[in-house]
Structure 1
Amino acid sequence: MKYDAGRARAIAAAAIRKAAQAKNNPADLINVAIEELLRLRLELLGYSTLEDLATSIGAEVNATIFATIPRQMGEAGRARMEALLVVGPDGKSTFNLAEEARPAGHLAAVS
């Protein structure tokens, strides 16, 4: 195993950034980084370093993903989503009404 903390940190960060596109659990991101460091035969970084990388990079990637959603929805889509949260005089929102309209036992088919 080679000791090159700077290179190991850069490789772990790149592996976490790539994995964070599809994974959200910090433990999964840490495992991806460890696998990549082992594959390249580099000495492992400390757990707290890997945890900090997974947390900060994961949050950064999530923020980027979340920011793209409203842009892709457009004005009409955002208005429809916001309308789901408006509560009427009966104390129910459009979302509640949609949930109530689902057929009874709709989950029974998958259990």
Structure 2
Amino acid sequence: MDRLSYTRVDRVAVLKAYFSFQGCKQTSDKSYGTDIGSSKNKTLMAKENISFSVEALYSLSMMLLGHNVAISPVLINTSMGTVSNWNKEEMKEIFNIYKKWLHKMEESNFEELT
């Protein structure tokens, strides 16, 4: 997130804002090229538009890693090998993982956030 030149306060606000998209079923109009992601995940690319919930998690991952994520904008259940983009329960689980991370970051006053 350093490359964006946001203040620390702004970066924390942006991270928290992503969670407001949990459960949002409205579809994003952002398009992705077929060359996005690893070859393994290209076969699992969503054929339909993705929801804002998926877009939020994908964008959050890119922000945290500081570079493009080497997967398609598709959430994959690795134990089943299936796309989770429209699975309400699996999306809830993914958001909960990120929320636990956010809570730990808040407890440390975002010390690890550069």
Report if TM-score (shorter chain) is over 0.5. no
Higher helix share: 1
Greater relative contact order (CA < 8 Å, ≥ 6 in sequence): 2
TM-score w.r.t. length of structure 1? 0.29
TM-score w.r.t. length of structure 2? 0.28
